[in-house]
Amino acid sequence: MEKFYTINDNYAEILLSKDIYPLVTVKKALSNFMEETYIKIISNNDEIIVQIVLKKDKENLEKIIGEFYNNLLRESLRYNIAIETKHLRELIVGRALYTTCIDLEENKTEKNNNVEEEEYNLDEIAVNWFDKYENKEE
């Protein structure tokens, strides 16, 4: 099995294909390792090169790379699902906002039939609290 990464002491270099992993998913997967490593991303036409340097020599670089590949797969799946369901999510949110933001004629007649409208007196509502309650005895 061919390895697509090299390790030298506390430094690793990982080669990724842009056809398989979009750059945004690589960045999201790498964001989980920023506390324990220094990361550099180089992108050219066909591939993405990830350079990782450990902040502390105690860490196991092989383990970090394995966890990175798992996170990369997870983020790639999320990205693909987001692309596949984009129109459906837009439709659901658009429909939800449409019915709550636009007062349709049918909604107006439903409101009038179901609930009697209350009238409010602005002079009773817009009163300074101190003016209304300050001089009242307890």
- Which position has the higher pLDDT, 122 or 31? 31
Task: Report the pLDDT value the prediction gives residue 106, as an integer from 0 to 100.
Answer: 61
Rounded CA separation 51/113 (Å) = 67
Report whether 11 contacts 59 (CB < 8 A).
Answer: no
Per-residue pLDDT band for 117 (boundaries 50, 70, 90) equals: low
Instruction: List the domains of the chain with CATH numbers.
Output: 5-84 (3.30.70.60)
Report whether 64 contacts 37 (CB < 8 A).
Answer: yes
pLDDT digits (tens, 9 = 90+) for 36-55: 999 999 999 899 999 999 99
At 32, list the tokens: 């989980």
Question: Does 127 score more than 90 pLDDT?
Answer: no
pLDDT digits (tens, 9 = 90+) for 56-81: 877 789 999 999 999 999 999 999 99
